[in-house]
Amino acid sequence: DAGVTQSPTHLIKTRGQQVTLRCSPKSGHDTVSWYQQALGQGPQFIFQYYEEEERQRGNFPDRFSGHQFPNYSSELNVNALLLGDSALYLCASSLSWQGTGELFFGEGSRLTVL
Amino acid sequence: DAKTTQPPSMDCAEGRAANLPCNHSTISGNEYVYWYRQIHSQGPQYIIHGLKNNETNEMASLIITEDRKSSTLILPHATLRDTAVYYCIVRLTSYGKLTFGQGTILTVHP
């Protein structure tokens, strides 16, 4: 049973560019969340998708957007990249109806902005 | 979600119990306590969660004080592979966001 898979694992962009990160949730999971983790910090919540709609959003600018597809996979898009967007981007999946609320995280996509 | 306070770092000898404390003095009656850990270069991993009662699973035990203002995560027989950052998180619902703090860096020594 594959867990949460993310791609790409590493990427380098320059300021002003745009990036798309992809996430496939754990089999059977219908909810996907994205987190940003700067070096030495805990992960910060970006947003959550369920039934192809953004359900919750953290304190991130509109440059950060997302999408969820009918197969529950998800994309995170960041426009007009800034140096401060350099971070590990984590995707987490869960079952909407599961009472434990356990999130399964992927290994992350390491973004470096030069 | 209520704020949590954890010591920045702790050490533990291999084979001994690791007891990681967490303060959440502003927790409300319907907020859960969750514990996650993050091993270097990996995504966070769920450990355990609880509301009022003590909980135990194959990984750890969670002890929540009667007033719910603090809790302790217990790894009964720590191994070198338990070296990680441990996050204590208070969460209103089972489907809401996780608010991570700085966590506790646990180092298990041989």
Q: What is the DSSP code string of A18-76? A: -EEEEEEPPTT--EEEEEEE-TTS--EEEEEEETTEEEEE-S--TTEEEEE-TTS-EEE
Count Cβ–Cβ pairs < 8 Å, chain A vs chain B.
56
Residue of A nearest to B98 (CA): A45
User: What SS3 state is found at A83?
Assistant: helix
Nearest Cα to Cα of residue A23 among A5, A36, A47 = A5
Per the document, the length of chain A is: 114
Residue B101: phi and psi, rounded to 5, are: -95, -150
Nearest to B96 among A41, A56, A90 (CB): A56
CA–CA separation, A33 vs B42, rounded Å? 16
- Cβ–Cβ below 8 Å for B99 and A33: no
pLDDT band at A95 (very low <50, low <70, confident <90, very high): confident
Q: Tens digits of per-residue pLDDT, B5-48?
A: 999 999 999 999 999 999 999 998 888 999 999 998 899 999 99
CB B38 within 8 A of CB B85: yes
pLDDT at B92 > cutoff 90: no
Judged against a pLDDT cut of 80, whether residue A98 lies above it is answered with no
Looking at the complex, report in whole angstroms how far the Cα of residue A31 sits from the nearest Cα belonging to chain B: 9
Q: What is the pLDDT of residue B24?
A: 95
pLDDT in tens, A22-78: 999 999 899 999 999 999 999 999 999 999 999 999 999 999 999 999 999 999 999
CA distance A68 to chain B (A): 17
Give Cα separations from B52 to A102, B31, B48, B71 (angstroms): 18, 9, 13, 10
Residue with tokens 């009662």: B53
